[in-house]
Amino acid sequence: MACAWSRTWRPSSTRPRTRAKVRARSWRSARRSGAAADGPPPTRHQKAPAMGSPPRMFRTLMFAPGSRPELLAKAQAGDADALIFDLEDSVPAQAKDEARRHVAQALAAGLRKPVYLRVNNPRAGDFHGDLAVLDHAAGLDRVMGVILPKADDADDVRVVAAGLDALEARTGATPGTLGILPLIETCLGLRNTFDIARASPRVAGMALASAEEGDFMVDLGGHWTPHSRALAYPRGKLVVDARAAGLDWIVDGVFMNLRDADALRAECALARELGFVGKMAIHPAQVATMHEVFTPGAEEVAHAEGLMAAYREGAEHGIGAVKYRGMMVDLANVRMAERTLALARGR
């Protein structure tokens, strides 16, 4: 964050006609200008945010069981940003092969929305059989990748990444086209979230299975509520580890009670406050509330746009920290503004 003693520049809409005398430069502005600066340089894990377009992020991911072909079709007509064609927990063991056929048929018919395929974990099911259904896709332009359930360590990610390497090679897809969204469902997985996030360049984001009486809560042994203190640390740790690994797309798990809209809104608001940018859905009726909470409002968007304009104007004058609406802002604020605008665009 900018300090009050940093060299400042007020945007033209707020600065007086007589420019204030320049005070001491901040470490960042000194480094950018090439001047000597005290203190260590950024570590290799730190990176300055770009002023260009931020990574694509989905606010909602709607589950559609692979064993229900009518839901695979219906979900594509809904309002969710992206879909999850599920071959894991929502499909009974005896229906796995049939579900793969249904998903393969849906992919062959073409997709109207971005889709992730939730495969079985390589340690627990026929992962390669699940992945093979993507061979039937009518192009992979709307297939975003796979969701890796019960991701416990970096090796889980590497096995899936190798499977995607082979898939892209045999289908002629551009290498690196398909991403991985690890889903943390155990305490062991939470313990290893940073390593999981950095296990492969294919990792596009991170997700926490935060559902009431879901796998993670069962493993944790805690008591779930919409404001659950039992999930405060798991959610916080996941966000911190994902951000430290350079990821911005962080997704909260499903909300199971379809009758309690107020509790759904409360949980979405809590997740956003903690740093999540989206949530998984199990019913179309949940999507509107999720979009409302995870989409920045008009005032937030106006603030972000004004902040970035002020920062750019200051940068044109060689200033790294500017005053905007009474607050000192620098690159950290710009990164937050970029994220706000990305969410506003529903990316």
Please state the domain count of the chain: 2
The kind and range of the H/E element at 250 are strand 250-252
Question: Tell me, what CATH number does 143's domain have?
Answer: 3.20.20.60
Q: Is the CA virtual torsion 83, 56, 171, 159 positive or negative?
A: negative
pTM of the model: 0.80
Q: State how far the Cα of 171 lies from the Cα of 169, in Å rounded to an integer.
A: 6
346 pLDDT more than 70: no
pLDDT band at 22 (very low <50, low <70, confident <90, very high): very low
272-321: per-residue pLDDT in tens? 999 999 999 999 999 999 999 999 989 999 999 999 999 988 888 888 88
Q: Quick check: is 99 in a domain? A: yes
Q: Which distant-in-sequence residues (6+ apart) come within 8 Å of 73 by Cβ?
A: 106
**Measured between alpha carbons, how far is 336 from 324 in angstroms, rounded to an integer?**
14
Are 202 and 176 in contact, with CB atoms under 8 Å apart? yes
**Which tokens sit at 80?**
């969710």
pLDDT in tens, 229-267: 899 999 999 999 999 999 999 999 999 999 999 999 999
Q: Give domain status of residue 112, yes or no.
A: yes
Same domain, 254 and 206: yes
Residues 282 and 330 reside in one and the same domain: no
- List the domain range (segments joined by +) for residue 347: 1-12+23-32+49-55+297-347
Banded pLDDT at 3 (limits 50, 70, 90): very low
> Do 142 and 81 fall within a single domain?
yes
Residue 301 and residue 290 share a domain: no
Asked if the structure places residue 223 within a domain, the reply is yes
Q: Produce one character per residue of 17-37: b if its CB has 16 or more CB atoms within 10 Å, e if not.
A: eeeeeeeebbbbbbbbeeeeb
